[in-house]
Structure formats: C-alpha cells, structure tokens
Structure 1
C-alpha cells in the first residue's frame, strides 16, 4: 500500500507533515481528539514501513515538526508584543522550537528501528515514543506542553491521569494509535490484524469505562469558603505602560470592592493575577493600603515583583485586612528566555533579554515549592504561570495542600490557543492530584476547577471582570499523587533493557 499509493519519499514526507499538523487539532481550542488518534495511526503506519533507521528517523522527525508547529503556534505571540524589537524572531523561534521537540520523536523512531527486529518495530516504537515524551518533559528544565494525553481533556479518558498522569495517558495514546495502524496493515497476517484490532478495542473501551467509573464517583461537597477571582484583562503591550498601568490597578481595586455576588457570602480571599501590582513589593506602599481598604476585611493575594538586590523575583504576596503582608512565595521554575536568559550578560549584547522580567537579565529562582498555611482558607500551594505545567513540582511540595492556586499572565500567549491549552494543563493537575485548582489569569481564562478537572465556573477569555466562587473540596490523594511517573519510567527502562538484551542475543 505504501509503495502503491505513496511511491516516493518526498510524497511520504509531505503526507506525514500534514498528518502531524492534523494530529495537533486534538488540542485546544479545536478539541478534536479523533484527528490525533487517526493522524498518529497513519503516521506510525508510514514509520513502521520505513526501510532503514535513517528513513524512520526522518519520517518521525517531520511528523513531529508538523505536530509541534501547529500545537505550539501560540509561541509567536510573545514576540509580537514588541514587534519592532522582537517580531523578526517569531517565525525562527517557532521553527526552532518545533524542530527541537521533533528531534525527540525522530530519535525515538530511529532507535526503535535499530534496536528491534522488524516484527517488533511496533512495540519498540511505542516504548521509544513514550520514553521520548518523558525525557522531553524533564530535559533542560522540561517542556511538557502539547503532550498527546492532553487531547482527551474533555472525555472520560482524562480521568486515567489520576492513576498514570498526563504522560502515561500520552503513552496509551501512542499504543492505541499503533494498534490501530497494525489493524489495517496489509502486510500482516489476518490473525495478527485481528489481534491488533481486538487489543485496540479492549484498550480503548477499558480506558473509557474506567474513566466513566471515576468520573461518576461521589464528589466531595464544596467548602463554604468563597473566593473572588479578579481578571483585569490588561493587554501585554499596555500592561506596563506608564499611562495605563495604574488604570489597570484601579480596575482591580474596583472589582475588589464590589459587593458579593447575590446568594453568596462575602469572599474570604480576593485573588489578583500574576504581576498585577506594577511596582516592586518594596515600593508598593501607596498601593497596598488602597487594596486593603477595597477588600473590606478580606485577605488579598496578588502577583508582584520583589527585589533583594541584586536579585529579583516573580512573586505572590498575601495581605490581611490591615494591609500587612502575611505570606510571600517566589516563583522557582522559571521560563527560559521568558523570565531569565541563559548566558544573559553575553546575549544582552546581542539585544536579547528576558521578555517577562522587568529588571536586570531576568528573575532569580525561588527556593522551591512552598505550601502556605492560610488558616481558615486551608493549606495552599501557589503556582505562578508556567509552574502549573510541571506535575513533579506539585509532588515535590513539602506537604499535601488543600488546594492549588495558580496566578498567571496569559496575555503573553495571545487570545487563541495558548491560554486555552494552559487551562487544560491546570485541569490535568486537578485530576492527577485530586485537588481543586483556582486559576486567576490577567486576560483569562480564570476558573474554579474541581478534583475531576471539570470547570465549575469561569470568566471569558479577553474580558475584564470578577467571579465569586465556592472553593471545591479536595478529594483523597490519587495513585499518581503517590507514585508519580515512577511506574511508567521503570516499565520503559525495563522494556528498553529487554530489547537491548534481545538484540545482543540475536
């Protein structure tokens, strides 16, 4: 079939690029996971029919490039905030990022072809792709965005993340796609194709059934705690402008002072998004009393920059009803080139500096995850922006919190796919750990998320406003909260070790 329909390598390369791009439509905002499954199956079919490890590498590399170029197309947005200065970098940044991430998939396919006999290429390919995704999520601080598992966010399959995490769900996606590809390959015996189809049906129906079962388990009743989420909707190009910055502060103070939503009690905590106070915490004295007065006895958490010269931090601060600072948290997992620049002194000579940071070469990293004991509000794990994409950071917290608070400035991500994919990440953290997530974003999407990853209420992307929500209750600790990716990692290591021994033997 490959030789009959797709006769030449250039045609195969074009086809697999389209398949990769089409597969990305499973991600938000398109949310068409069937495209991902079928696109993956067709691409894997082409890769399994490669004639050499080099060809398998090239096919998988091009497949990955198409997939990441579309799913991460929002990466051009930060460069367009200051287009005269950075706009020229946008296409190069997207091409380089998509190519770099595609290398993981290309290497996986090439190694799978080299390590396993042709009859087991399919199994080794699944193992290698799953391992590549695990490495991608960790290497050079990691970038676990656009994981194949994320495409299932709106379906019961997502509930499996409570057992195996989003990474494990991605591995199952590769397995399901490979079984589907084997079901239709004409080169295999009928019995082999039949076994593959049965395995595909058992895998998908079993995963779906388990997801439905968990989704329908009794949910813990909401707490009586009311929180207010403040969404100022400050466009990034105006956010720090001296003629507009304090106007956005005034807007947030107005939302803070608004009466409680009808039928709800007064908010106990009012939350502003990341870097919502346009001054270093040390110099925010004129602003903080105004916030406290507007809060009318409630505590307020807000994003702010904090300095301990020569270091600066992207932080969260909490003030009580008197305007006294009761807690701070410094972001520890920083965005390369966004919040700090590797080799900053040298690169600054080329005109390259951290986009998001407002001082020096960028922010300094805080000491690590921190759980804030906020009395009646419970124990809170704060996450700032990008930190919500790393489940291991939540597992590394010193103790299990009662809920997760993410403040973020998604104005950097534009108004299309970036903010919506970031929201999906937060939903998976709720499922993985059995913890509610309260998400407050500058331009949206601010939301209250329960332990099943369901959005209880939210504010519309790109609109200013505030939202009073009841804090969903935490559930019991999940399997994934206890073991993380360790079982999957051990399984992959064992499979690779077995393949190496088998290759040496034969």
Structure 2
C-alpha cells in the first residue's frame, strides 16, 4: 500500500505547481512522503522516492508528448515512451533524496530540516547533472503568489524549494513527535511562514524604482509549429510579422520570438532590407534566429538572438548556451535523431552575455529553454538592466507546458531583481517586472502585439550576488532553529 500512496503523493505535488498552484497539495504530498520514508530503510526509501518522482514527473511533464504530435507520422509513436522514460530517469533524484534521509532517522524539527535538505540537494543535482533539467522546482509552488515568491530574491529557487518542503513536512514531523519536540515543530512552522510573509511584504513595500521610459513592442505571430518551416508559408509568415510590427504606435525596441523569421535572416539581404525600411533610425529589432558559421572547423549552427537597426545590422548577437537535448542536439552515444529538422546539431555559445544597444538599457539575452536555469541568465561581469527571453512554445500547444515555462521566467525576475520581457511565438508573451508580477501579457494561440513600458531594474539581490552559495547558510540557520525548538534552548537554559 505504501508504494501506491507514494505515487499518489507525487501526482498531488503537481497540483501545487503552476498553473494549478493549489498550496495545500504541497502540504499533503510532502507530508505523506515524509511519513512513508521516516521509518524506512535505504532500499525502501529509494523505492518510495522513485514512485513519488515517477508520478511527479509523468504528470508534470505530460505536455512533452505534444511535441511528438507536430510530426506525428515520424515521431508520434515515441510520445508515451519518451515521457515515461524521462520520468523514470528524473525520478532517481527524489529516490536519492529519500534514501539519503533514511540514513538519518532523526525526529522532530531537526528531522524535517534534514528531509528538506536532502530533497533540495537532489533537486540542485537535477538542475546540474548532464547539463541539468531544473523544470518544475518545488519552490515554484509559490511562483504565482506575489508576496510568497519574493523570498527567492534572497534564497533563489533552490532555497525556496527548501522552504516549501520544510514548511510542508513540519506538520507531519509534529504528528510523529511528542512533548517539546512536537511544540518545536509547530513553532518552527509558524516562524517559517511568518518569515516568508514578512520578507515578501518588505520587498513589495519598498519604494518602487522609477520607470525607464523605454517603449517596448512585442509581436506574437501565432504560427503553428507544423507550418513554420513549410516553404510555401515563408512569405506569409514574414509578412505577418512585418504587418504587426508596423501597427500604429511608438516604440523604441521591437521584440520578435525565437525563429520568427523561418530561415537564416542574416543570409537574406532582401529580408533584412524590408526590416530596415520598417524601423525608424532610433529603433532596434531583437529577434531569435538560427545562424550558421563556416570556419576551419567546418559549418557550425547556432540558435541566436540578433539585433538589427535601420541601417540593416545585425548590430549585436548572442548564441544560446543551454541547448535542448534531443531538440537541438543529441548526445553522440545515442543512435537516435533530433525532433527538430536541422542540417546538424547546434553548437552552444560561451554563456550569458550582456548586449549594449544604441539608446537602450543594457539587455541580457535568454533563449527559450535557458530561462529555466536559476543563476545562469545574467552576465556576472556586466549586469544587464533587463532580460529578453525569446521563445517558441508552439511545440506544446495549449498544454500546461507554456504556463510552467512562464512561471520559470517570473522566478528569474525575482532572483535577479531584473524585469524579464518574453516574446513567444504562440504565447505566452509577457512583460514581467523585477518582483515577478506580470504587467502585460498575450495568451496562447493569439495573434497580436503588446505595447508597454520597460519596467525598471532593482539593485542586485542577494541571490544575484552570491548565487547558490546562499544555500549552506540557509540550511545551517534552519538546523540551528530546529535544534533550539527541539529542546536545545531548554537544555542551554538549564546549564546556565
């Protein structure tokens, strides 16, 4: 019975994440898992954690199956095996967390802290091993709550996962404890909730930065992925973007999504000339485009964000450095092909980069998938004033995938203290301020534009300065509080 319960708990945990954001589901799911593994041995803990993770990822990542339907004749048969296989592999991380916790067998608030520590360590590993896949971090349960997500400015999303799991399992730890240890669990639960609320209130109550005065225009062309690369659709697609971009209204920077132009834009002088004619002398276009470079090593392919001006540019570019496995490259040791039809694997760029564009605040670039990586979207050497996220979620239709992707973008805004501006082919395009609030948005499968002012940046957050180095002090502070509430304070008092 324990394994079906662990599986059900993993499925329930998905309800705590966007777009559902049912917070009590986190309390039920992680409390249930904690109770199931608290007295288990390492092997049983490993199996229970894997059952939890299998459901968590199978339901949370079910939207991946949509991408196989784009070319169903070739790849449709792979949808269920791909989601099942990926879920089974990712479930190893919750399994390792639970197995590690079973080595401790500590009760009370200290046990809750150690469980949350094991969970967060495994989640951090998931975000880094084999280039990482930090999708649906546990902390995103707070992503859609303005006050609650602000703690990520200090802790980052991994630290927020630690706080969510800790708060979720403390009531369960109280059920297993007695006397002062039970009271300690409840006291720590109250302190933790109040601290998160207070941190959020203080950050939102701070004097908001003044506006930038920079006028944005985001274009959402709403082109179905199955049509995007058809030769007979190329002119119609390009004409749609030009028409939407030329709509009445003033703007300083024009933003197109990933692969808005279905081809190598920098190799098409006629297309560049049409863009240049549309742009006033003081306007800039930022767009996601593929690029190929021939050098001594042969021909290499990049997924880039390029900037064009009225002179025809490009005046700057950025190459995506976090590539999508099986979409933009396939590990050489696997005998399978890519889902995306390209002449060859993409080459990763050198890393985050800040672009200096005429008349605009410094901009950081994040292409699609890259926005899911905490601490890897802004150049540490030259801090940008905002982040442009060009993306194409057309692969995933109207599933929960694009909504989860948007939640990641909101969390990066809070962590970095920077506005994030998102241009998505079929949605969700959005202007997100430095507190993670959505100022303007255009929903899925809608054609149109967003005209909005660029929100101002905040000073660098603690997480922007230190990154994941904030995690050890956070865990140590929680362990100290747990020890005190578990009776340590009383023992110290008696000694004095």
- Fold-level similarity (TM above 0.5): yes
**Residues 461-476 of structure 1 mapped to structure 2, 5 A cutoff:** 461-476=444-459
Q: Are the counterparts in 1 of residues 364 and 378 from structure 2 also a CA contact under 8 Å?
A: no
Instruction: List aligned pairs for 1:91-170, cutoff 5 A.
Output: 91-116=80-105, 121-155=111-145, 156-170=147-161
Are the equivalent residues in 1 in contact too, given 2:211–2:454 (CA < 8 A)? yes
Show CA shifts across 1:92-126 (max 9, x none).
Answer: 11112211111111111112212455676544322
Rounded Cα–Cα distance in structure 2 between residues aligned with 1:281 and 1:491:
47
Residue 398 of structure 1: CA displacement?
A: 2.9
Q: 1:418 aligns with which of 380, 383, 401?
A: 401
Name the stretch that deviates more: 12-21 or 446-455. Answer: 12-21
User: Is it true that 1:32 corresponds to 2:16 in the alignment?
Assistant: no
Structure 1 residues 495 and 184, CA gap change in structure 2 (3 angstroms): closer
SS at match of 1:279: coil
Aligned residue number for residue 305 of structure 1: 290
Q: Show the counterpart of 2:308.
A: 319
Equivalences, count:
472
Alignment partner for residue 167 of structure 2, among 176, 190, 214? 176
Give the Cα separation in 2 of the matches to 1:83 and 1:113. 44
Q: Give the drift of 1:43.
A: 1.9
The equivalent of 2:227 in structure 1 is 238
Q: Which moved more, 1:113-122 or 1:30-39?
A: 113-122
Is residue 334–residue 340 contact of structure 1 (8 Å, CA) maintained in 2? Answer: yes
Alpha-carbon distance, 1:356 to partner: 3.3
- 2:493 alignment partner in structure 1: none
Equivalent residues of 2:365, 2:377 under 8 A apart: no
1:240-279 correspondence runs (5 A): 240-260=229-249, 266-279=250-263
> Contact (CA 8 Å) 1:256, 1:295: kept in 2 or not?
no
Give the whole-Å Cα distance in 2 for the aligned partners of 1:160 and 1:490: 15
SS at match of 1:394: coil
1:343–1:490 Cα change, 3 Å: farther
Bigger drift between 246-255 and 278-287 goes to: 278-287
Alignment deviations for residues 486-505 of structure 1 (CA, whole Å, 9 cap, x no partner): 13146669999xxxxxxxxx
Contact 1:113/1:121 (<8 A) preserved: no
Give 1:192 deviation, angstroms.
2.1
Cα distance change of structure 1 residues 242 and 489 upon mapping to structure 2, 3 Å threshold: farther
Matched residue of 1:273: which SS?
A: strand
- The answer for the alignment partner of 1:480 in structure 2 is 463
Counterpart CA distance in 2 for 1:318 and 1:57 is 49
Task: Summarize the Cα distance change of 1:396–1:319 in structure 2 as closer, same or farther, 3 Å threshold.
Answer: closer
CA distance, structure 2, for counterparts of residue 122 and residue 363 of structure 1: 44
- Compute the displacement of 1:247 (Å): 1.3
* Residues 38, 105 of structure 2: 8 Å contact kept: no
- Aligned residue for 1:448? 431
Given the superposition, is the C-alpha separation of residues 117 and 391 from structure 1 closer, same or farther in structure 2, using an over 3 Å criterion?
closer
CA distance in 1, matches of 2:112, 2:149: 25
RMSD across aligned C-alpha pairs, in angstroms?
Answer: 2.0
Q: Is the 8 A contact 1:47 1:59 kept in 2?
A: yes
Compute the displacement of 1:49 (Å).
3.4
Answer yes or no: is the 8 Å Cα contact 1:161–1:480 preserved in 2. Answer: yes
> Which residue in the other structure is 2:218 paired with?
229
- Residue of structure 2 aligned with 1:358, choices 339, 342, 346: 342
* Cross-structure match for 2:64: 75
Deviations 1:160-203 (A, max 9, x none): 00000011000111111221211223xx3243222211211111
- Contact 2:12-2:26 within 8 A present in 1 as well: yes
SS of alignment partner, residue 207 of structure 1: helix
Q: Which runs of 5+ in 1 are unaligned?
A: 1-10, 261-265, 497-506
Q: Using the alignment, how far apart are the partners of 1:87 and 1:368 within structure 2? A: 34
| 1:29 and 1:416 in contact (8 A); partners too | no
What TM-score, normalized by structure 2, do the two folds share?
Answer: 0.91
Whole-angstrom distance in 1 between the partners of 2:142 and 2:173 = 22
- Aligned counterparts of 2:113 and 2:350: Cα–Cα separation in 1: 41
* Other-structure match for 1:434: 417
Distance in 2 (CA, whole Å) between partners of 1:341 and 1:470 is: 40
Per-residue displacement from partner, 1:337-377 (whole Å, max 9, x unpaired)? 11111117x62xxxx322235222x2111122211101321
TM-score using structure 1 length = 0.89
Residue 7 of structure 1 corresponds to which residue in structure 2? Answer: none
Structure 2 gap segments, 5+ residues each: 480-496
